[in-house]
Amino acid sequence: MLEQTFCHLTGIGGTRERRLWERGVTSWDDLSAEADTGKAGRNAALWRNELAGSRLRLAVGDARYFASRLKPADTWRLFPAFQGQVAYVDIETDGGPEQIVTAVALSDGKNARTYARGRNLDDFAADIARYPVIVTYNGRSFDVPVLRRNLGLGLPQAHIDLRCVLGALGIKGGLKACEKRLGIDRGELDGVDGYFAVILWREYQRTGDEAVLETLLAYNAADVIGLETLLVHAVNACLLETPFAHLHTLPVPRPGHNPHQPDTAVLRRLARRYLGGRPGGWR
Point out which residues pair with 174 in neighbouring strands: none
pTM (two decimals): 0.95
- In the sheet that 112-116 helps form, which strands lie side by side, from edge to edge? 112-116, 101-107, 86-93, 133-136, 158-161
Strand (E) or helix (H) holding 250: none
Residues 228, 107 contacting (CB under 8 angstroms): yes
Give the whole-angstrom CA distance, residue 30 versus residue 26.
6
Closest to 230 (Cα-Cα) out of 253, 211, 212: 253
Give the chain's radius of gyration (CA, Å).
21
Ranges of H-type helices in the chain: 14-22, 28-37, 44-59, 63-69, 79-82, 124-128, 143-151, 162-168, 175-181, 194-207, 210-225, 227-239, 245-248, 264-270
Residues 183, 101 contacting (CB under 8 angstroms): no
Query: What is the pLDDT at residue 40?
Result: 67
Point out which residues pair with 112 in neighbouring strands: 107
Closest to 178 (Cα-Cα) out of 136, 217, 218: 136
Task: For domain 2-60, give its CATH number from 1.10.1760, 1.10.3470, 1.10.150, 1.20.1060.
Answer: 1.10.150
Task: For domain 80-275, give its CATH number from 3.50.50, 1.10.10, 3.30.420, 1.10.3470.
Answer: 3.30.420
Query: What is the pLDDT at residue 279?
Result: 43
Point out which residues pair with 92 in neighbouring strands: 103
Q: For the chain, give every domain's residue range.
A: 2-60, 80-275
Q: What is the mean pLDDT of each run of 10 residues along the chain (283 residues)?
A: 97 95 96 82 87 98 98 98 97 96 97 97 97 98 97 96 97 94 93 95 98 98 97 98 96 96 95 74 59
Query: What is the pLDDT at residue 36?
Result: 81
Query: What is the pLDDT at residue 37?
Result: 79
Query: What is the pLDDT at residue 281?
Result: 56
